[in-house]
Amino acid sequence: MSAFETKRRSIAKALSWRLLATIITTVVTFALTRKLNFAFEVGLLDTGIKLFVYFGHERLWNKIPYGRVESPDYEV
């Protein structure tokens, strides 16, 4: 059993995290400005940029063994 994640799993995690983070960014921006359109624009721009950054970050961490425990390919 490999400790590496598939690209599909990394994409799913990135999308689910970005959805949650977009909601938070939009709500905070709206709370500070009281401008709904501006809050949505900031939320979408933030998502567009950070989605790709997060995916790259995840893939990079898959190459780093720090803190990872490898499981054997078989069990007895």
* pLDDT tens, residue by residue, 12-29: 887 898 889 999 999 999
67 falls within a domain: no
Instruction: Report, as an integer, the average pLDDT of 28-39.
Output: 98
Its pTM surpasses 0.75: no
74 falls within a domain: no
72 falls within a domain: no
Domain that holds residue 28: 7-62
Per the structure, how many domains does the chain have? 1
Q: What are all long-range contacts of 16-24, with beta carbons under 8 Å and residues at least 24 apart?
A: 17/54, 18/47, 18/50, 18/51, 18/54, 21/46, 21/47, 21/50, 22/46, 22/47
Label residue 70 by pLDDT band (50, 70, 90).
confident
Instruction: Report, as an integer, the average pLDDT of 46-68.
Output: 87
28 falls within a domain: yes
